[in-house]
Chain A
Amino acid sequence: AQSVSQHNHHVILSEAASLELGCNYSYGGTVNLFWYVQYPGQHLQLLLKYFSGDPLVKGIKGFEAEFIKSKFSFNLRKPSVQWSDTAEYFCAVIPRAGGGNKLTFGTGTQLKVEL
């Protein structure tokens, strides 16, 4: 079965700082990878996803992520964060074949952006 590790549980940044959140997965085959964001009191929203092709994926709100197959990683980046990016971020993975609709999430990273 697949699993996901998010190493940063809590991150505090000042506005305009750069962001990188780590995500590593374990699975031997080809995968779909996702980053979701959850603003306080709200449901999950998709930031971006990787299916195939260009390993550098651009998402909404200026976020991007790079899939490095050799490292089993899918780190999320943003060059300059804003106070409104304060939220919890989840990485998720599902096998491309035989995933059986079993999307697996990491434990999440709480991001706080200070003014």
Chain B
Amino acid sequence: NAGVTQTPKFQVLKTGQSMTLQCAQDMNHEYMSWYRQDPGMGLRLIHYSVGAGITDQGEVPNGYNVSRSTTEDFPLRLLSAAPSQTSVYFCASSYSTGSRGYGYTFGSGTRLTVV
């Protein structure tokens, strides 16, 4: 099925550990992005990419790294996990056209707990 695939679905980390959240899309979308969702704060943009090899920071980038070596993949790396990074993480793939504007597809999320 076409869409955005995120792995893992659940993860528990100890403070200071590092890990990579995987995101892959098979729709050949140009744009990809990572959001974190926290109660009462909606979804906040962490990092985004407008194409392979091009990434930029969003609203809350500290403590996270990204790279985009292919159109399909956009992994999110936690360098040294902290309890403040306990959250639900969503990856999104999107396109933009002159006739339809923007369209977004979201992954099913990764629930991360840092203890």
Residues of A within 8 A of B (CB): 4, 6, 9, 32, 34, 42-44, 46, 49, 51-52, 90, 94, 96, 99-108
Contacts and interface: CB of A to CB of B under 8 A. Distances in A.
A101 B108 contact: no
Q: Is the interface of A mostly helix, strand, loop or mixed?
A: loop
A108 B42 contact: yes
Interface in B77-101: 90, 92, 94, 96, 100-101
Interface residues of B toward A: which range?
20 to 34
Interface of B: 31-33, 35, 40-45, 48-50, 56, 58, 90, 92, 94, 96, 100-104, 106-109
Q: Which of A42, A49, A101, A102 has the most CB of B within 10 A?
A: A101
Contacts of B33: 101-103
B94 A43 contact: no
Given A43-B108, A44-B90, A103 B102 contact: yes
A100 B56 contact: yes
Contacts of A102: 33, 45, 48, 58
B42 A107 contact: yes
Contacts of B45: 102-104
9 contacts: A46-B104, A90-B43, A96-B101, A99-B96, A100-B48, A103-B94, A107-B42, A108-B40, A108-B42
Nearest to B41: A107
Q: Which of B42, B92, B103 has the most CB of A within 10 A?
A: B42
Q: Closest 7 interchain pairs by CB?
A: A51-B101, A101-B31, A105-B42, A107-B42, A105-B43, A32-B101, A44-B106
A74 B82 CA distance: 37
Nearest to A6: B42
A9 B40 contact: yes
Given A51-B100, A101-B33, A103-B45, A43 B109 contact: yes
Nearest to A90: B42
Contacts of A104: 45
Nearest to B104: A103
